[in-house]
Each structure stands twice: as C-alpha cells, then as structure tokens.
Chain A
Amino acid sequence: MDSTIIIEKSVIIVAVFALTMLMAMYSTWAERKVAAWLQDRVGPNRAGPFGLFQPLADGLKLFSKEEFEPNTPNRFLFFVGPAIAMSTALMTSAVIPWGDRLHLFGRDILLQATDLNIGLLYFIGVVSVGVYGIMIGGWASNNKFSLMGAVRAASQMVSYEVAMGLSLIALLMMTGTLSLREISAQQAGMNWNVFYQPLSFIIFLICAFAETNRTPFDLAECETELIGGYHTEYSSMKMGFYLFAEYANMFISSTILAVLFFGGYNYPGMSWAVENWGVNIANVIGFGALFIKLCGFIFFYMWVRWTIPRFRYDQLMHLGWRILIPLSIINIMITGIVILRSEIATYLGF
C-alpha cells in the first residue's frame, strides 16, 4: 500500500466524520425549526441569524453542566455506554458511497472510505451491535427506570432488525450484490430500486424509524412512564453523546435509505453531465443530489415526529412481529417468483 492511498483515505474519512458531526449538530437545529414551523411558532432565533448558532450554544451548555454520577458499582460500564452508542453511530458511514469518482492529481479517487463487497451485511452488523450502548448504559445506571427503558429499547431494536434484514433480502435478490457501490451504480438514470421494491422500501423505512428510536417508536424514552428511559441517570456531555448518537443514526439511516432505494448519487442526466461537463463536476452534482435526498429523509423523520402519536408497547410488538415480518416474507416470495417467471412458465408448460 503506497502512502498516497493512505493520505487519500484519511482525507475521505476525516471529511465523512466532519460531515456526520455537522449534520447531527444541525439536525438538532432543524428539528426545532421544523417543530416550530409545524406548530406555528418561531423556534430558536436568538443565537446568530435564524438561530444558526443554537447547536454550538447547546454543546457549550452540555459541556459546562455538572457531571452527575449515580452511585453505581459499574462506573466503567457507565462510561462505556455512551461511547459505544456514539462509535456505532459513526461506524456505518465507512461503507456509504458519497459519489462515483473524482479525477484529481492524475488519479481516480473513489468517494467512499472503503468498498467492502459485503457492505450491506456490514451495515446490518453495526446496527445490531448498536444495541449494546443502550443496554450497557441502562443497566450500569443502577436504576430500575433506566433498566426498563434499556430493555424496552433493546427488545424493540432486536425485533425490528429481523424485519429489516428480511426486507433487504428481497432487494438483494434483485441486485445480486452486497456492495453499496454496485447497488448505487445499478440505479443509474431513473432506475431507482424504490420503483421495483416499494414494499421492501416501506418496511425498511418503518424499521429505520424503530432502529433510531424515533417517534412513533420512541417508547424507550417515554416520559410519562419511564422518566427519561435509558439515559435517565446521565447528565452533561454523556447525555449529550446519547442524544447526538440518535441524530447521527438518523443521518446515517437517511443516507442508507437514499443509497439503497433512491438511486444514491445518481440523478437524471448524469451520463450526459459526465460526457459534457467532465467527471468532477458531474460527481460534485451527484454528491449534491445524494445530499438533497438524505435531507428530504431527515425532514420526513421530523415531520412524522409531529404528526403521528407514540405507539403503545403491545401495538409496537404486534406491528413488528405479526405484520412486518410476514409482509417481508411475502415480498421475498413475490420477488423470487418474478425473477424466476420464465423458468416457472417453461416448467408448467406455458
């Protein structure tokens, strides 16, 4: 491995990290603005123009708050919980293709930290590991409300992971690859997967809401029953890490949704742009297209938060196990029949 590759990848990793952090920061601002807009209020408008410095002020506030620690025998695990939540939220961004390629300094630069040929499985793996941050943090708090919140969050995430994985299988049968770069490339033009797999998209979307613990599935922090859920005992920046991880997760899952179902960096007329304007400009526009798509999904997350009330816990489990899982299995069957339709027709003698 030569040093230029190391420099190139380091630059991409730092850029992706900075982008994730910035988006998570400004999602908190956007959430308040969207909430205010939907409720006919003004929202934050004191810190900077349009309240744009509000996230910085919030960060400063969280850092300077008193660091309270419960009397717990598991002090180390109490610290590890938020750290795991934050790192798993950031890990997924490694396999996301942010664009096709740039041609700089006489070499092709792939706009992706790493192109794993099992990128989609990596994503599922990181999502399933993300539960540990919540469970360990909730248990180490030494508080029954925290523990109940953690158990609720974990059982919800584990249940919806099943439906999420099954909905992705139908997509995989169609694309025939697990690499996110190849899945993006297959959707060139307007060949988006959402038109071929609408059911899979809807199931994945619902599961993404449940995985990020967002309303209507935010039972983990249901204030009326559980005070603050798994982060009841957390204060200062440790609490901030949990909240920040939630927004980072929201950003990453929006990106995954855009990449898997809405064409990723592709936009209509991309091949024309590559021919006439060159690779660099076409791909910068492609990154812009991906960015607009994912911002649309982030807005959708916030929109739903102020539209649909919270589910009851048994309704949540009913939806996950009795509706979404059978639906995704039916979806897999239909996809299989459509893929093998010519062989089935010859077998039956049509």
Chain B
Amino acid sequence: MSTILIIFCVLAAITLATAFLTIFSKNPIHSAIYLVICFFSIAGHYLLLNSQFLAIVHIIVYSGAIMILFLFTIMLMNLNEEREVHRPRITRLGAIVSFCLICLVLIAIFINSKPIVGEYVTTGEDYQSIKVLGKILLNEYMVPFEFASILLLVAMIGTVLLSKKEKLQK
C-alpha cells in the first residue's frame, strides 16, 4: 500500500467516525466539536488532492468562523434534551424535501464537473493555484459568483433585520 492510500484510509475513517459521532452524541457541544474534527479531516482530503487553497479556505470558513459561532450559541443557550421543541410534521417534511433538492444539485455538479476535471488533467494547468482560480471565477463564472455574494448579503441583512425586530417589540 502506498503512503497516500494509508493516509487516505486514516483520514476517511476519522471523517466518517466523527460525522457519525456528531449525530449520535448526546451533548450538543460534543457534537459541535466532533463536527470541527470532521471539517479538519475534510481539509486533509483536500490537501491529499494537492489543493492547498481550498483546504485553507475550508478551515478558515468552516472551522474558523461558522463552527466558532455555532459553539458560541450552543454554549450560551445551554441546550438540554427537555427543552427541545417539538417539531411539527410539515417542518420535518420540508427538511427532507430540501435535503433531496441539495442532493440533486450535488449530483448535477458532479456530472457537470467530470469533463472539466478531465480537461484540466490533459491541459496540465495548475488549477489549484489562486491565480488560475481567481481568473476562472471572475471570468467564466462571474455571474454565479456575483449571485452567490448577493445571496450572502441578503442573508446578512435579513439577520440584522430579525434581531432589530425583536428589540423593537420589547
């Protein structure tokens, strides 16, 4: 077995184990910490594919920003099993439908990206370098890129609006 295969197996084991532990552990903080370890091992997978930029951005965005805010709210809210709100059936149905939609999008991405990945292999272009990535994002995929940033902006404004509304009602 080559070294890379061994590293991949260890990383995959860590990823799967921590992902399962995230779901099955009783304490919400433990779940969040398992999820952080899971994100780190996914960054390790990116490094195995030799895409340093993606790995570091993954760590900065997911482990460094999102999960810290997650831990933050969980610690302050002091979640217990007794306080868990009973979800109505329509919410559960909505969750399942949105999960299926995400799966559909993911499958579409994989099918569409397969010829592109093959193209990169044949041209030998260094697609993990920031220069190439930036050029592709801001030339070929300019419109989706802008749409994604508008989506983020809308989400941010919405959050601010929601928190302001609560204050006004008091």
Contact = CB atoms under 8 A, between A and B. Distances in A.
Interface of A: 77, 116-118, 121-122, 124-125, 127-129, 131-132, 135-136, 139, 147, 150-151, 154-155, 158, 161, 178
B56 A147 contact: no
Interface string B61-97: 0011100110110011000000000000000000000
A131 B66 CA distance: 12
Contacts of B21: none
Given A124-B60, A125-B59, A125-B60, 10 more contacts: A117-B130, A118-B53, A129-B63, A135-B68, A151-B76, A154-B72, A158-B65, A158-B69, A161-B64, A178-B130
Nearest to B57: A121
Contacts of A116: 52
A105 to B, nearest CB: 28
B42 to A, nearest CB: 14
Interface string B31-64: 0010010000000000000001100110110011
Contacts, number: 56
Contact of A131 (B52, B56, B68): B68
B75 A118 contact: no
Interface residues of B, number: 20
A132 B75 CA distance: 13
Nearest to A130: B64
Nearest to A80: B33
B159 interface: no
Nearest to A124: B60
Interface string B148-168: 000000000000000000000
A87 B53 CA distance: 22
Nearest to B29: A139
A128 B60 contact: yes
B64 A125 contact: yes
A132 B68 contact: yes
